[in-house]
Chains A and B, each alone.
Chain A
Amino acid sequence: MRMVGDLGIAEDAVQEACLAALTQWPAAGEPASPRGWLTGVARHKALDLVRREARRSAKEEAAMRELGGPSHPAHPAYPAQGPAMTWPRVTGAVSKAGATRGGGPDPARQAAAATGDGTADPASPAAAAAVSDQLELIFMCCHPAFAPAARVALTLRCVCGLSTAEIAAAFLVPEATMAKRLARAKGKIRDAGIRLRMPAREDMADRIGAVLRVVYVVFTEGHKASAGPALIRGELCDAAIQLARGLAQLLPGEPEVSGLLALLLLTDARRAARVDSSGDLVLLADQDRGLWDAAMIDEGEALLLAALREGRPGPYQLHAAIAACHSTSRDAAQTNWREIAALYGELIRHEPTPVVEANRAIAVAMSEGPAAGLVILDAVGHHPQLGRWPQLHIARADLLSRLGRGEEAAGAYRTALELDPTAAERGFIIRRIGELTGDAGADCS
């Protein structure tokens, strides 16, 4: 990858090298340093490919002219055609560790993955190089020169190995649109000269922040899909957790990185309980906690404790701590809302947004009573953007109904409906309106 600045050609080269490895290794036995061998072979193949591409562009131009389409001499056609290219799981330790969904990591599997490619000794130059390569790739995909949407697409493609079709489906855009987005981003890598390199020390904090944000966006979209029939898109949650695991191994000294992993594990542990049989949202308070994944919760809590011990708290660790408050409560009634409210109060200092304040309002309401919470929510509700946030009105409605102000609560729910919530929320809201107004099948459309 270092010698070719063109991501498309590098992907082709590595894939061919992997194919060669697959056919040759069983016969010849695995070489002593599979990763080194692969890189060596890949370099050869990259040169071949660069030469072939040079000849191909001319052929493509000729073909384009015959077909009557536009010719793009600087942009050989990729990545839409052909089979999906995947970044090979060469450094098994990074990508295999998170492959199992549910039940947490399998220590035996992790150990096997770690030793599988000759980079088991973390002190070895091969291991260090593998880590460096992976980090450089992730930092490149999350480079600030790309728009956030492009960063997410590139990361899912090049680091997680999702196909263009899979990414398009995940974000509910046509495949052609996603292909274009990826092609533009790859074109920019080449045209603008974005190279694989570790960010400078003074940029590290920002650049790690950018990477964490990408992972968080991917998870959030999977946890609560912004459109489409399903509330949860499990494959995105899985991809995000896999990324977070990789990052936690690559950047062991960064508590915010393990804080993010902890947050994702603690949150995703609830997956099975969050949707009912009709596909509607089940509130945290109503979830069957027996369905929560205990192993993921244990792992998440352990990671969080280790991170907090570093003494460098940050937003992801705080979010994880809030999630841990829920996961440690055997039932909703035992939740330590005072602690959660305090954590949100701390989070506000890192993330001074109305959304955080709104969540704090709910926590305060739960610990001091709905009236206290409503005061905060009403104060926050004047924020222009927040007024268009369905969750705010759902929260208000909840507090109002607890105060016995049923009509106002129903009104708040109806406002939430008008703001176009997701299908799963819609079902939940309509049911609540029905309960409040006594009309089980009320026409609330």
Chain B
Amino acid sequence: MKYLFLLHTAGDGVPADVASAEYSQTFAAYSAANAAMAKAGVLIECAPLGPSSSATTVRVRDDETILTDGPAAEIKEQVGGYTLVDCADLDEALKWAATIPAARTGSVEVRSVIDVQPPR
């Protein structure tokens, strides 16, 4: 079953300075976690996201497109990245979610991915 991990962290995305020690540490931590999932054959795809402060939110109301600067909801922990996995069941997904660095500093929301049925 496919699960999407939404990585929530308080900071605003990946450390900006690629040369910084913080960047190296974060890179190493995520690489290790992703490598383990890949090796176990559960990882489908993963990526960090651009900072939520640079997001643009699109809404269409009464045929009018409304753009807002920033994320859809102003919450303390924004989504900073995602991981898509394929696991046997929730227990397995939860185990992997706990290995993701964001789980230590923020939280990882585990959502099952629905196999969409076409309407009858």
Contacts and interface: CB of A to CB of B under 8 A. Distances in A.
Given A195-B88, A197-B89, A200-B91, 14 more contacts: A58-B120, A73-B117, A191-B112, A192-B90, A192-B110, A192-B112, A193-B1, A193-B87, A193-B93, A194-B89, A195-B89, A195-B91, A199-B91, A200-B95
Interface string B74-113: 0000000000000111110111000000000000001010
Interface in A177-226: 191-195, 197, 199-200
A257 B91 CA distance: 23
B120 A145 contact: no
Nearest to A58: B120
A145 B110 CA distance: 10
Interface of A: 58, 73, 143, 145, 191-195, 197, 199-200
Contacts of A192: 90, 110, 112
A194 B91 CA distance: 7
B90 A195 contact: yes
Sorting the interface of chain B by its residue count into under 10, 10 to 19, 20 to 34 or 35 or more gives 10 to 19
Contacts of A199: 91
A145 B90 contact: yes
22 contacts: A73-B117, A143-B90, A145-B90, A145-B94, A191-B112, A191-B114, A192-B110, A192-B112, A193-B1, A193-B3, A193-B87, A193-B89, A193-B90, A193-B93, A193-B112, A194-B89, A195-B89, A195-B90, A195-B91, A197-B91, A199-B91, A200-B91
B31 to A, nearest CB: 25
Contacts of A193: 1, 3, 87, 89-90, 93, 112
Counting from the closest, the 8 A-B pairs by CB-CB distance are: A195-B89, A193-B1, A193-B90, A194-B90, A193-B89, A192-B90, A192-B112, A58-B120
A73 B3 CA distance: 21
A197 B120 CA distance: 34
A200 B114 CA distance: 26
A83 to B, nearest CB: 29
A191 B94 CA distance: 14
A143 B91 CA distance: 9
